[in-house]
Amino acid sequence: MATSDRGAVGANCALSTPIPRRGFVELLLGGGFLATAIAFIYPVLRYFVPPKTADLGGDSVVAAKVGELQLNSGKIFRFGSRPGLLIRTANGEYHAMSAVCTHLSCTVQYRPDLREVWCACHNGTYNLDGRNISGPPPRPLEAYDVQVRGDEIFVSRRREG
């Protein structure tokens, strides 16, 4: 009986290549070190080498459907990789601008009570054309053109020149 058990063990060892204990530990440590190194290096590389397809957005997007915004309200929409702000004034006019504050890049919002664009980070305010009127923002927000076509509201970048 003992002979057949030994034979079975011997047969199993013969089928698989034994890994020495020391080699196994070295392999484990090496793999752990490699994984740790990749975990540190990868984010640094991604920071210094931005993706080739940086999405700067098209020149025009559909920001909302007609009737989606009530009078005296605003909506944040996606313009490429950045937020934009579409405002419908109390008179029914549309205004659109970048929603990225020119101070430290917080996302601004429309304040119906003030009828202004407001940045909650440091209490900066802009008028409905995006001009900075109080607080720390140093420059106006980038203003966009608005066009209503059919039942969609298109927002587009203004052409230079």
Q: Compute the least distance from the CB of residue 123 to ligand FES, in Å.
A: 7
Candidate segments 32-40, 41-49, 56-64, 120-128, binder of ligand FES by CB under 6 A? 120-128
Candidates 61, 59, 57, 58; CA nearest to 152 is: 61
Under rule CB under 6 A, how many of the chain's residues touch ligand FES?
A: 11
Residue 122-141 contact track with ligand FES, rule CB under 6 A, x = bound: x-x----------xxx----
Shortest distance (Å) from residue 94 CB to ligand FES:
23
Cα of first residue to Cα of last residue in the chain, in angstroms, is: 96
Contact with ligand FES (CB under 6 A): which of 121, 140, 145, 156? 121
| Minimal distance, residue 82 CB to ligand FES, in Å | 14
| 3-state SS assignment for residue 87 | strand
Residue 57 makes contact with ligand FES by CB under 6 A:
no
Cα distance between residue 28 and residue 49, in whole Å: 31
**What does the CA dihedral 18, 21, 26, 28 come to, rounded to 10 degrees?**
80
Cβ contact 44:134 at 8 Å: no
Coil, strand or helix at 27: helix
Nearer to ligand FES, 143 or 145 (CB): 143
Binding site for ligand FES (CB under 6 A): 101, 103-104, 106, 119, 121-122, 124, 135-137
